[in-house]
Amino acid sequence: MSDSRNGGMRRTLVGRVVSDKMQKTVVVRVDRRYQHPKYKKYVTHSTRYMAHDEAGQCRVGDHVVIIESRPLSRHKRWAVKEVQSRGLAE
């Protein structure tokens, strides 16, 4: 566990790589399910995050863990921590 002296707690999210066309950057889609307050139906909401991939190891379809980081560019505020599982090879 981190504390405020060495950067504080950084959020981690798990998602799927949907684009790897940029250099050192991947787009990760994170899905979350919640129950609609009125209709009680489960809704899947997805958010796309741009994440820094220094080694260029991620491919489309991979399940990855991303961690919050300092702003790296206009849209990048996340970095790839690890690849949990590989997607289907194309």
pLDDT in tens, the chain (90 residues): 455 566 678 999 999 999 999 999 999 999 999 999 999 999 999 999 999 999 999 999 999 999 999 999 999 999 999 999 998 755
Residue 38 covered by a domain: yes
Please say whether the beta carbons of 36 and 27 come within 8 A.
no
Please say whether the beta carbons of 11 and 69 come within 8 A.
no
Q: pTM of the full predicted structure?
A: 0.84
Number of domain units in the chain: 1
Q: What is the pLDDT of residue 73?
A: 96
Q: What is the pLDDT of residue 5?
A: 61
4: helix, strand or coil: helix
Residue 70 covered by a domain: yes
Residue 18 covered by a domain: yes
Give the CATH number for residue 38: 2.40.50.140
Residue 90 covered by a domain: no
Supply the range of the domain harboring residue 13.
4-85
